[in-house]
Structure 1
Amino acid sequence: MMTKTAKDLVAEANQTVETLSAEEALKLVGDPGVVLVDVREGEELQKTGKVQGAVHVPRGFLEFQADPASASHKPELGGGKRLVLYCASGNRSALGAKALTEMGIGNVSHVAGGFAALQQAGAPIEEGR
C-alpha cells in the first residue's frame, strides 16, 4: 500500500529546497561559482540540447556522481560551488536537490519549470552531449 505518491514527494522536496525561477537561474549562467546540472536523460539532451555550460548528470546517477567517495564521482559537482539543478519540468530536479541536501551538500537549488522555462526565458542552448 502506497503512503505517498510521486506528487507528494515532489511537493515535500519543493518545501525543503530552494527553488529558483528561470529568470533567476539565467542570471547565474557563466558564474564561475555556480554549476548548472542537467538531470534529464541523455535522450532528452540529444533532442533539445542543454543550457550552455551545464553539466549533464542523469537523475539516476546524481547521488553517486556527487559523492566524492564514489568511483563515478564528477569533480564538477564538488569544490563548494553552488549547484543549480534542472530537468524537463522541475520535478526530478526538486527530488535531486532534496537528495543532495540530505547528503550534506550545501548550496543546492533547482529551477521551477525546468528546461522548458529556461528555454522560454531565453537561456543560451548548446548541443547536448
Structure 2
Amino acid sequence: MAITPVKELVMRAKEEIETLSRDEVWRLAEAGEALVVDIRDPRELEREGRFPGAMHAPRGMLEFWFDPASPYHKEAFATDKKIILFCAGAWRSALAAKALKDMGGENIAEMDGGFGAWKKDGRPVE
C-alpha cells in the first residue's frame, strides 16, 4: 500500500490556504489585527526562541483548542482577528491551517518560511 508523501500533502494544503509574507505577519501583529500562533514543539521554542507576543499552541492540541465545543477550547481562538499559524519551516503550519479551514475556520493563514526564515532574516526573537 502506497501512502501519500507528506511533501505532497503540504503542497496540496498550500494550494487551499492563505500564506502571508513575514512583513505582512509583523505588520498585522504590530497593529493588533492578528493572533499569531506558534505550533512548534516546546523544545523548539526553548532552543530557537519565540516570535514576540505569539501564542503557543502545540500542534497536537490545535484543533481541540480551536473548537468551541471542545472541553479543551481556548478563548484566545474565539476572535475576529486573523489567525496566523507558523512552525519551523512552514510545513506543519500549512497542514494545520488547512485543518482549521476544514473545521470551518475563517480568516486563517500561515507565515511564509516559518520561524526558521523569520530568524534567518534577523527579525525580533524573544
Matched, 1:96 2:96: yes
2:48 aligned partner: 48
Task: Quote the Cα distance in structure 1 between the aligned partners of 2:117 and 2:22.
Answer: 6
The 10-residue stretch of structure 1 (26-35 or 55-64) with the greater mean CA deviation from structure 2: 26-35
TM-score in terms of structure 1 length:
0.91
The answer to whether the 8 Å contact 1:26/1:118 transfers is no
Unaligned runs of at least 5 residues, structure 2: none
Task: Give deviations 1:75-109, integer Å, cap 9, x for gaps.
Answer: 11112221000000000000000000011110000
Task: Quote the Cα distance in structure 1 between the aligned partners of 2:9 and 2:71.
Answer: 28
Q: AA paired with 1:13?
A: A
1:76 aligned partner: 76
The 10-residue stretch of structure 1 (95-104 or 77-86) with the greater mean CA deviation from structure 2: 77-86
Task: Quote the Cα distance in structure 2 between the aligned partners of 1:41 and 1:4.
Answer: 24
Shift of 1:61: 0.9
Task: Quote the Cα distance in structure 1 between the aligned partners of 2:124 and 2:16.
Answer: 29
Task: Quote the Cα distance in structure 2 between the aligned partners of 1:111 and 1:3.
Answer: 27
Runs of 4+ in 1 over 3 A off after TM superposition: none
Task: Quote the Cα distance in structure 1 between the aligned partners of 2:117 and 2:21.
Answer: 8
Shift of 1:3: 4.0
Q: AA paired with 2:44?
A: E
TM-score in terms of structure 2 length:
0.93
1:35 aligned partner: 35
Shift of 1:119: 1.9
Shift of 1:65: 0.6
Q: AA paired with 1:27?
A: R
- Identical-residue share of aligned pairs (%): 43
RMSD: 1.3
The verdict on how the C-alpha distance between 1:24 and 1:33 changes in structure 2, with shifts beyond 3 A counting, is: closer
Task: Quote the Cα distance in structure 2 between the aligned partners of 1:40 and 1:93.
Answer: 9
The 10-residue stretch of structure 1 (27-36 or 52-61) with the greater mean CA deviation from structure 2: 27-36
How many residue pairs get aligned? The number is 126
